[in-house]
């Protein structure tokens, strides 16, 4: 699957499976990235080494953000409110 086709699939999944509004700013940004991606670009995805999440975050100089930050858990797709305080 080319990068452009993958990004189109991701956009569709965000909109139709997860209910994201296509008018939201990050969906506009995603469409702009899709439009500017070469139709034949194909990035390997072996999930190891240079392609791992940690390696990408390091390359982009971004901190790794744990799923539990300051006692607040993110519960995406669980039907519960998105933020819930953890019990001490």
* Domain presence at residue 28: yes
Residues with Cβ < 8 Å from 37, sequence gap 6 or more?
3, 4, 7
* Domain presence at residue 88: no
Phi, psi for residue 61 in degrees, rounded to 5? 60, 45
* Domain presence at residue 17: yes
Q: How confident is the model at residue 43, as a pLDDT?
A: 84
Q: Is 71 within 8 Å of 88 (Cβ atoms)?
A: yes
Containing structural domain, residue 49? 3-63
Q: Is 31 within 8 Å of 24 (Cβ atoms)?
A: no
* Domain presence at residue 15: yes
* Domain presence at residue 40: yes
User: pTM here?
Assistant: 0.58
Q: How confident is the model at residue 29, as a pLDDT?
A: 95
* Domain presence at residue 74: no
pLDDT in tens, the chain (88 residues): 899 999 999 999 999 999 999 999 999 999 999 999 999 999 877 655 566 667 767 777 777 665 544 444 444 445 555 555 555 5
Q: How many domains in the chain?
A: 1
* Domain presence at residue 73: no
Closest CA to 69 of 79, 54, 59, 84: 84
* Domain presence at residue 85: no
């Amino acid at each position: 699957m080319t990068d452009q086709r993958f990004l189109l699939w991701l956009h569709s999944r965000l909109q139709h499976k997860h209910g994201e509004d296509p008018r939201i700013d990050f969906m506009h940004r995603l469409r702009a990235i899709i439009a500017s991606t070469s139709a034949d670009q194909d990035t390997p995805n072996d999930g190891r080494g240079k392609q791992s999440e940690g390696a990408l975050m390091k390359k982009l100089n971004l901190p790794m953000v744990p799923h539990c930050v300051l006692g607040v858990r993110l519960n995406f797709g669980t039907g519960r409110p998105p933020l819930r305080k953890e019990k001490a």
